[in-house]
A and B are shown apart, each in its own frame.
Chain A
């Protein structure tokens, strides 16, 4: 244990803390509040980075296994164990990341028993599952070497696994070849959505070659990183040979890709200056050509900075390629954009951090690296071990040494977790926020009225500005009530009904509240959400108008009760002039009104339906039962092409109804 490792582990644990909280939010409330994904952009960071990137990054395992066990190049054997472990943890990370991305993650095992054998994704799913198993078996002997498993049974399993290594390696290579390429084949289904610079019928070959190149680069990077972290001797000779191999593979990739573009006549497209072309040049230049050259130059390849830069660029380039194919160059419907939310990023980072911590745990407790990997004092790469001393902040030194780690890491983990709790988007923490459906005001148009007689629905036909009403047919102004503008309209002959209810004196029957300096305020002014209650009370304004602190008692008049909306005096106590004296509303509603307006739909139904039912009850001769049934208002309306309507200019008699204000445009 050294100070460097302690700091790295602390950072990883903090990320794991954040990840834990985000996971709870993700699985409690679904993908909606936690991600930037939508039906039109269903693939995001988790697929691009965790799945496509993760699988490619873990390719080092099968590449090195092939090198050592199949081609028999023994000098790479010291790298096999860390490579297999990295691959195993990489695939675990892929599986975990996929669980986050799936809408029904508990169905992840379904491909096994509900196979869709024409699907590329089925093949990928099966390969990843099987390869994860193979990797577990390949790494299991390292775990079974631990003294904990000294029982003869485990020894037997160990021997058996050791004997079957070659078969496991062969299976691993076959499975890897299959799904590394099939992840590319997935995109064969979208020739028109993927930009031509990336779409090609041989995309699976490109995916496979780049995965091999990336696997080699990951091996170098992982060796450099663990050497830095654990104080190992750097095996520069081995790593530079791997670098050369990576350079060859990258060169092959560049050749194949350019030849393929040339074959399809698309090379010119790469220079047309569009952002796709520039992205392509950037990806190829920085991610493939440059590292290919860097790793080909012997002087750079044998220096640690050269190796680190080269392999980092390969990793960057291939992961960028996976991002481009699945997100950036993947056409979305107009108006749809995708950008990952921070919880998505936290999950990706958290999965990687968790995998890294497990890697460190295995390295600390198992023989992943051989003893002679460790650099001795005086050698390059040697790190002074960290010695515990008394630390007043953590009481370290007073307490058992094995608790020093848990003390430190639990502290940073809960700090990360708490921060995440505070910053989580609202819908992830508590119940999801209801969707807001803003309401637009009713509009008034001229319409022909067709009365089918008693109890029948009165039909309205809109008068087009181009056609006009037939000669001799009377037209009337009619309000179109369609708060959410979804095309389903209730026709409301406002003036006719006002007349029936008693003319000018009847406004307040329905218009039960006036906003300040307004008369007969329109429904949508307060009932401004289609379904949800709307808050029409402005606390800050009231504080200002009631002289600050001195005014609190005006509404919160009982000091023994909690000051809240529910216990405040009703609006009508002060605003008698704003509220109609005898509205058609339930009287009790008026007395308890505290600034919450019901949703538009409920408000309309409460008012219209109640009145219709009353008419049926009071005067069944004139109003048959059908008058109070849904379809009296919500009939099949003809397909209305509102675009054809001209502006409504007819003058309202009293000019009071906002919906019929002179000159008001009939079309919003």
Chain B
């Protein structure tokens, strides 16, 4: 068990984090080249960058954008906030980074981390339920859309159990092993799957906007037809 744990925290984690970082850099580099290529080919070059930036920022807090589905909007917001903050700012994680690289940064209090972990786990499960319940998203969903939230729930749940061995029905080391293996799996999957939106999200609006410019003014004409004049498509 200890050997497996060492392997999951050592070599496997190094592979995962290297693949994550290099993979995301690769995504950005390719996206930049592709967008530049697309802009060169676009029929009209009037791309509303400022409007796009504003729309992208607005989508960072999807609760507002998803006004017609308030529960979903809130769940996804809580989910995203928790899963970004806890892995990066948990004291235990920072201690591991410090041990390996001598780099350290301020941590959030453990109590806050506990609360956010519970929120993340619950929100992940809730997201899956809401996806099943709503007809529209259900039809659009693929296997990975269910698998990733559940995998994240497992990682956060096992992390919580590892943090609180006294409350845990599972022994400390198995809980930690599940946590580490699951987390590595997510890290490796990020550049391969739709999870790559962690870095590509700021570019997605730009990409679709540029695509609407291949025939000149196609995007604005569609907007006009839909009665959404002057909004990015």
Contacts and interface: CB of A to CB of B under 8 A. Distances in A.
Contact of A549 (B34, B37, B92, B172): B172
A561 B101 CA distance: 21
Contacts of B23: 414
B12 interface: yes
A552 B37 contact: no
Contact of B18 (A400, A421, A548, A559): A421
B34 A418 contact: no
A414 B30 contact: no
Listed residue (A406, A421, A424) with the most chain B CB atoms within 10 angstroms of its CB: A421
Nearest to B12: A422
Nearest to A399: B34
A10 to B, nearest CB: 15
Interface string A541-561: 001000011101100000111
Interface string A403-438: 100110011001101110111100001100000000
A419 B29 CA distance: 21
A562 B94 CA distance: 9
Interface of A: 21, 399-400, 403, 406-407, 410-411, 414-415, 417-419, 421-424, 429-430, 540, 543, 548-550, 552-553, 559-564
8 tightest A-B CB contacts, nearest first: A422-B15, A549-B165, A421-B18, A418-B19, A414-B22, A418-B18, A562-B91, A422-B11
A605 B111 CA distance: 44
Interface string B23-65: 1001001100110010000000000000000000000000000
Nearest to B26: A410
Interface of A is mostly: helix
Interface string B103-136: 0000101110000000000000000000000000
Contact of B37 (A403, A415, A423): A403
B166 interface: yes
A410 B191 CA distance: 13
- The CB with the most chain A CB atoms within 10 A, among B37, B111, B165, is that of B165
A553 B26 CA distance: 45
A11 to B, nearest CB: 18
Nearest to B175: A549
B75 to A, nearest CB: 28
Contacts of B17: 421
A549 B161 CA distance: 10
22 contacts: A399-B34, A400-B34, A403-B37, A414-B18, A414-B19, A414-B23, A414-B26, A418-B15, A418-B19, A421-B14, A421-B15, A421-B18, A422-B12, A422-B15, A424-B14, A543-B172, A548-B171, A549-B165, A549-B172, A552-B172, A562-B91, A562-B110
Contacts of B15: 418-419, 421-423
A419 B14 CA distance: 8
Contacts of A410: 26, 29-30
A411 B24 CA distance: 11
B95 A430 contact: no
Contacts of A421: 14-15, 17-18
A552 B171 CA distance: 11
Interface centre among B11, B15, B92, B109 (most CB of A within 10 A): B15
B22 A418 contact: yes
Nearest to A407: B30
B110 to A, nearest CB: 5
Contacts of B138: none
Nearest to A393: B192
A406 B30 contact: yes
Given A550-B166, A562-B107, A422 B14 contact: yes
Contacts of B16: 418, 422
Contacts of A415: 19
